[in-house]
Structure 1
Amino acid sequence: MTTDELLAVLRLQHTPFIGDVTAKKLISNCGSPSEIFKSKKEHLLKIDGVGTYALQGLYDGEHIEAAEEELQVIQNNNWEWSYFMDDSYPSYLKHCIDSPVLLFKRGNMELDGRKIISVVGTRKITSYGQAFCDQFIEEIAPLDPIIVSGFAYGIDIAIQKAALRHNLQTIGCLAHGLNQLYPKAHAKFKTEVEKNGGFLTEFWSTSNPDRENFLKRNRIIAGMSEATIVIESADKGGSLVTADIAHSYNRDVFAVPGRSNDKYSMGCNNLIKQQKAHMLTSAADLVYMLNWEMEKKQPMIQKQLFVELDYIEKTIYDYLQKEGKQLLDSIALECKLPIFKTSSTLLNMEMKGVIRPLPGKLFEAI
């Protein structure tokens, strides 16, 4: 992208009421960002989904001045950027309709053809969450994935520090401009992260870490990876928002289960119960669900010996052994069980290690 085109994108970004979806429509119809500002308003109004409200400030001079100032900051700091149509733009994120038109980045990222996992969770990490972060990264490290998170307190920084210890690339998605770092307490990790990964943001140097920016940032975390993992979460919080966004993008979501009375396991348990996330007890679960074992052989998941099954569980197990992979609805129909009972029984059987969920809401006996 040339400097003139970058300037045009910045000008577009600074215009109120023009978000990423509208900006992409304008660029697609006009051919390039700079051509938008050469087009007559009458022509732009013919574009589906673009109205007078969105275009009312498009030609205001203040946006040119602001764009020129931000361009100067980018050039003075030698920041890199990725335009949504460039090869350097994260490939998974390209498929998200509301992904940023422009990303600013700093560090040493190599995303092309790599496995990418996003990990989120509570800022009030427990010893259980810390132990799982360490265990998961140790188990997944041989596959050399990139670990994406938000560089925040709690699970975010725990998983990114674990990734660094195992020489994995890790990327922090920021809710502010690259000229600052939040929280300041994590500045001591900045150099190491930039050497082996780096930082991404859609926000200008004039943006502060405001609450709405964190919520907006979550779609980048969810969108740029193949799967999103929630390690610990209360029954409400930004981690669950990220999981919902990933689910809306048709990405795999995983959640680490915990005891029913643990505050910071409630969100994860609910995701699993509502079938919005696969249960994650080890890296092997993720490797299997994403079909990564075809590239690097992993230990087989084996059924526990001498597991006791009640009558309903044995009925379902016998059916799956005989018929192979089956949908939830088919299992309920053939075993003459209500859906809610079948769903809860399958979850119990999964925890006992006698069945496993598959993509497409299928289940099979182990």
Structure 2
Amino acid sequence: MKEEKLLAILRLQKSKAVGDILAKKLIVNVGDVSQIFKEKPQNLAKINGIGKNVLNHLFDKENLEKALDELQYIKKNNIKYSYFLDEDYPENLQHCIDSPILLFKDGAIDFSNKKMISIVGTRNMSSYGRDFCNTLIKDLATYNPVIVSGFAYGVDICAHKAAIENNLQTIAVLAHGFDQIYPKVHKKYINDVNKKGGFLTEFWHDEAPLRENFLKRNRIVAGISKATIIIESAAKGGSLVTADIANSYNKDVFAVPGRTTDLYSKGCNHLIKSNNAFLLNSAEDIVKILNWDIQEKPKTIQKQLFVELDENEQKIYDLLHAKGQQLLDVIALECNIPTYQLSSILLQLELKGVTKPLPGKMFELS
């Protein structure tokens, strides 16, 4: 990636008034992230959601200086990264509208494995939870899944260690930058995690593990996987937030039941009782619900007979044919079609029987 483009992405990240959703809207409307800071502010102001406050943050000189410093750090330390429109960006996460526009990564992460699950839960793990987590991952090992968690105390580190012991790839999603580690006592696991997977973060190298960063981290944990598993949780906690986010992404959620009198089973029991999670008794439940026991067959795409497509319709068809289901904003970017035009084009394609809409502003070929 050219330095100019990376610098523009970093400036967007540093603009406090610009979240990931608004950043993607800017990119879609302008056409290329590098052009955003070359546009006249009055032109950007015509985009829905771009007001005076956003423009002030976008063109803040201090943000530019900080972005330049971070760019130098990335170059000096050979930091690897993935832009949300790049092929090496996690596919599951790419479909989440509020996913980070840029991820930093370390280790030997391989996103090509489709069997990716997140395992989270309380930091105050019981022996029951520990035994269940270890047995679950051991029993799943034959399917070679990727185990994702947050590198925290309790369930998180138990899941990472169990993955390593069973020779599985594991990904630790951090709530801070790469210049520090939290909790510090887990520093001894860094090399093992990097050898069998690695670390992901959206935060710049010197960002601290602030409370709000853990909440942001949770959406990556939920979005990057096919399913989220809650081992143990109190009635309130970060793992329940992760479960809520996973449900909002239309992901499968599993929860391990426990005795009604156990403090750290209350959250899981409530998820099951409220139909917000599948009851998880064993690895077999995950295998069946995620269809891991069914041999995957190559997708066949039927040719659309007797359907004439105009230039823009053909672009969309070609994209979905090549890459499968895509987010509305991603289609707009890849096909260089403004979102206000794209919706009507997709409707026409649906009426022609070429495409069909999916939950979460996703589309695929019929």
TM-score (normalised: structure 1): 0.80
Q: Counterparts in 2 of 1:163-312, with a 5 A limit?
A: 163-295=163-295
Distance 1:84 1:120 in 2: 24
Distance 2:113 2:131 in 1: 29
Distance 2:115 2:76 in 1: 33
The answer on 1:106 being equivalent to 2:106 is: yes
Q: Which SS does the other structure have where 1:234 is aligned?
A: coil
Q: Which SS does the other structure have where 1:47 is aligned?
A: coil
Distance 1:32 1:2 in 2: 13
1:295 shift after superposition: 2.5
- Look up the match of 1:130: 130
Distance 1:57 1:217 in 2: 23
Distance 1:134 1:57 in 2: 47
- Look up the match of 2:143: 143
Distance 1:197 1:253 in 2: 23
Distance 1:157 1:136 in 2: 15
Distance 1:49 1:57 in 2: 13
Q: Which SS does the other structure have where 1:22 is aligned?
A: helix
Q: Counterparts in 2 of 1:32-181, with a 5 A limit?
A: 32-181=32-181
Q: For residues 108-135 of structure 1, what are the alpha-carbon distances to aligned partners after superposition, in whole Å with 9 as ceiling and x for unaligned?
A: 0111143100010000000000000111
1:257 shift after superposition: 0.3
Letter in 1 for 2:118: S
Letter in 1 for 2:38: K
Distance 1:104 1:4 in 2: 18
In structure 2, the gaps of 5 or more residues are: 297-366
Letter in 2 for 1:141: A
1:48 shift after superposition: 2.2
Distance 1:295 1:281 in 2: 23
Letter in 1 for 2:68: E
Q: Which SS does the other structure have where 1:292 is aligned?
A: coil
Q: For residues 267-306 of structure 1, what are the alpha-carbon distances to aligned partners after superposition, in whole Å with 9 as ceiling and x for unaligned?
A: 000000000000001010011111111029xxxxxxxxxx
Q: For residues 22-51 of structure 1, what are the alpha-carbon distances to aligned partners after superposition, in whole Å with 9 as ceiling and x for unaligned?
A: 111111111211100111111111112322
Letter in 1 for 2:230: V
Q: For residues 135-175 of structure 1, what are the alpha-carbon distances to aligned partners after superposition, in whole Å with 9 as ceiling and x for unaligned?
A: 10111000101000000000000011000000100000000
Letter in 2 for 1:189: Y
Distance 2:48 2:15 in 1: 19
Distance 2:278 2:114 in 1: 22
Distance 2:268 2:236 in 1: 10
Distance 2:195 2:183 in 1: 19
**2:82–2:89 Cα contact (<8 Å) kept:** yes
1:263 shift after superposition: 0.5
Distance 2:57 2:201 in 1: 25
Letter in 2 for 1:261: T
**2:178–2:206 Cα contact (<8 Å) kept:** no
Distance 1:122 1:139 in 2: 22
Higher relative contact order (CA 8 A, sep 6+): 2
Distance 1:58 1:214 in 2: 25
Q: For residues 73-112 of structure 1, what are the alpha-carbon distances to aligned partners after superposition, in whole Å with 9 as ceiling and x for unaligned?
A: 1112211000000011100001111100000000001111
Q: Which SS does the other structure have where 1:72 is aligned?
A: helix
Q: Identity, % of aligned pairs?
A: 58
Q: Which SS does the other structure have where 2:293 is aligned?
A: helix
- Look up the match of 1:353: none
Letter in 2 for 1:91: E
Letter in 2 for 1:25: K
**2:113–2:146 Cα contact (<8 Å) kept:** no
Letter in 2 for 1:265: S
- Look up the match of 1:16: 16
1:55 shift after superposition: 1.4
Q: Counterparts in 2 of 1:307-318, with a 5 A limit?
A: none
Letter in 1 for 2:35: E
Greater C-alpha radius of gyration:
1
- Look up the match of 1:333: none
Distance 1:57 1:272 in 2: 43
Task: Return 51-60 or 246-255, whichever deviates more.
Answer: 51-60
Moved beyond 3 Å, runs of 4+: none
Distance 1:193 1:145 in 2: 15
